[in-house]
Amino acid sequence: MLVKASHPAAMRVIHLRVDAPPMPAPGAPCNGCGVCCAAEPCPMGALVSGRRHGRCKALRWDDQRSQYRCGMVMRPQTLLPWLPAMLRPWLSGLARRWISSASGCDAHLQTTAPDDLSGG
């Protein structure tokens, strides 16, 4: 998938599963498309990934839901195995807040499927 950021000259390719849902309209509820997290990490993802640009290391595919999920929300211990069990719920809640999970889609990105690039 080709993703174009809000700046017209910024274009890059991100790789997502073909069975991932399409990116929702801005403000619509998150559907787990994974576009935003594959493009760049949120503040929590930047801490976990150790970088501010590129795919977030916390991005996880959920086979049961057929959508992408945040590993820091769903199972922070998989990314931070040293994390004490009593801190997991707190960190999961903090991750929800940092990704603004209840606010709707705020990814200001334009996506183009690979088929659209070849004209097919």
Listed by start position, the domains of the chain span 2-106
Quote the pLDDT of residue 15: 86
DSSP 5-57: -SSTT-EEE----TTSPPPPPTTSPP----HHHHH---HHHHHHHT-SSS--T
pLDDT tens, position by position, 87-102: 999 999 999 988 887 7
2-4: strand order across its sheet: 11-13, 2-4, 110-112
pLDDT tens profile 37-77: 998 898 889 998 898 888 999 999 999 999 999 999 999 99
**pTM for the full predicted model:** 0.81
Count H helices and E strands in the chain, helices first: 6, 5
